[in-house]
């Protein structure tokens, strides 16, 4: 991690659901996330530290109920083997603050073959029209 984390400050900043998912490695209910059907261009950032994570043009509809991307911005995420719940998966965390974002799978439909399956509550969209 690149930044010092004050968990009390993070708890104040996030809703209880956001904290559960981002800091306690939870999962939001499928098809419940506000960014699932988001189509605006921009950059998806970490809700905790605002680290840029995913370009909007990497987002695709996976039918899983969570926002899905075929690639992260270079150096933005860290991948960790996750063997919880009797499964072997690859967890995706923010490289800057270590927050849990979701998991990545090797079943994506694009040329990368990746499907970053992320929790909407972990992300914040900096839309291009908002940047101008």
SS3 119: coil
Which residues have CB under 8 Å from 86's CB, separation 6+? Answer: none
Q: Check pLDDT > 60 for residue 2.
A: no
The pLDDT, as a whole number, for residue 129 is 75
The pLDDT, as a whole number, for residue 3 is 66
- Name the average pLDDT for the chain: 94
pLDDT tens per residue, range 21-71: 999 999 999 999 999 999 999 999 999 999 999 999 999 999 999 999 999
| Percent of the chain predicted with pLDDT > 70 | 95
Query: How many other CB atoms are found less than 10 A from the CB of residue 3?
Result: 12
Catalytic residue, from 46, 94, 97, 117: name it.
117
CATH 3.30.2130.30 is the classification of domain 7-131: no
Round to whole Å and give the CA distance between 52 and 94. 9
The pLDDT, as a whole number, for residue 130 is 58
Check if the beta carbon of residue 73 is closer than 8 Å to that of residue 29. Answer: no
Q: Tell me whether residue 70 is exposed, middle or buried, using C-beta atoms within 10 angstroms of its C-beta: 0 to 12, 13 to 18, 19 or more.
A: buried
Rg (CA), the chain: 14
Extents of the domains making up the chain: 7-131
Q: Give 110's pLDDT tier (boundaries 50, 70, 90).
A: very high
The pLDDT, as a whole number, for residue 85 is 87
Respond yes or no: is residue 122 known to be catalytic.
Answer: no
């Amino acid at each position: 991690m690149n930044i010092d984390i004050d968990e009390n400050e993070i708890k104040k900043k996030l809703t209880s659901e956001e904290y559960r998912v981002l800091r306690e490695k939870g999962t939001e209910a499928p098809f419940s996330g506000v960014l699932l059907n988001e189509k605006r261009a921009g950059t998806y950032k970490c809700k905790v530290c605002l680290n840029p994570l995913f370009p909007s043009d990497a987002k695709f509809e996976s039918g899983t109920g969570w926002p899905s991307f075929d690639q992260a911005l270079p150096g933005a995420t860290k991948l960790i083997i996750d063997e919880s719940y009797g499964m072997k998966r690859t967890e995706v965390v923010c490289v800057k603050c270590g927050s849990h974002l979701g998991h990545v799978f090797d079943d994506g439909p694009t040329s990368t073959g990746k499907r970053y399956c992320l929790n909407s509550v972990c992300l914040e969209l900096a839309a291009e029209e908002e940047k101008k």
